[in-house]
Amino acid sequence: MGLCTTCKNSQLLKPFKCVTQDDFEAVFEEMTRADGMFFASPKYGPFGAGPSKLQALLERLINVNVLPANTNPNFAFPLQDKPCGLLAVSVEGRQNNLPVLHSLEQYVLAYHMQPVHTKLWPFIGVSGKGNDKGDVLKDADAMKNAKVLGALLVKTIRNMRKP
């Protein structure tokens, strides 16, 4: 995967700024202000691809992380150490969502974020089953695991705030 690098070759090189004018700046600002976050994705197709808009966001985060880091060895990415939970849903559910969860985990680790893991399978996040709106609410295991993951995320944030 290549980086756009347009900002690197322009007068606009500022950390966390992108020359593409869209909603990315607003989304990134919300992400930096958040104490923690969830990355959630449906699984499309047999190979575990997520939606293209989520993929675009994750790839844009690479640009605002890697380019400043390459020019400044003391650079600290604003999402670094931020706790996050991972969720995936598909028609099949269970182990079929592992490719999506693994992909999300690789991105958050690349950004030096802190993925919150549970002691419940699949450990790295929550795997849900559903096809239509509201279906995942009928997946009792996924709902239980999501509550546990949410509670762990809150606990992690609280522990980070302690002096």
- Tens digits of residue pLDDT in 79-115: 999 999 999 999 999 999 999 999 999 999 989 999 9
Q: Is residue 110 part of a domain?
A: yes
How many CB atoms lie under 10 A from the CB of residue 19? 13
Q: Report, as an integer, the average pLDDT of 39-53.
A: 87
Q: Report, as an integer, the average pLDDT of 56-66.
A: 82
Q: Report, as an integer, the average pLDDT of 105-130.
A: 95
With tokens 């880091």, the residue in question is 69
Q: Is residue 79 part of a domain?
A: yes
Q: Is residue 90 part of a domain?
A: yes
Which pLDDT belongs to residue 105? 96
More confident position, 81 or 66: 81
Q: Is residue 49 part of a domain?
A: yes
Q: How many domains does the chain have?
A: 1
Q: Is residue 50 part of a domain?
A: yes
100, HSE (Cβ side, Cα atoms, 13 Å): 31
Q: Is residue 18 part of a domain?
A: no
Q: Which CATH number covers residue 76? A: 3.40.50.360
pTM value?
0.87
Q: Does position 145 have pLDDT exceeding 80, yes or no? A: yes
Q: Is residue 62 part of a domain?
A: yes
Q: Is residue 19 part of a domain?
A: no
Domain range for 143 is 24-161
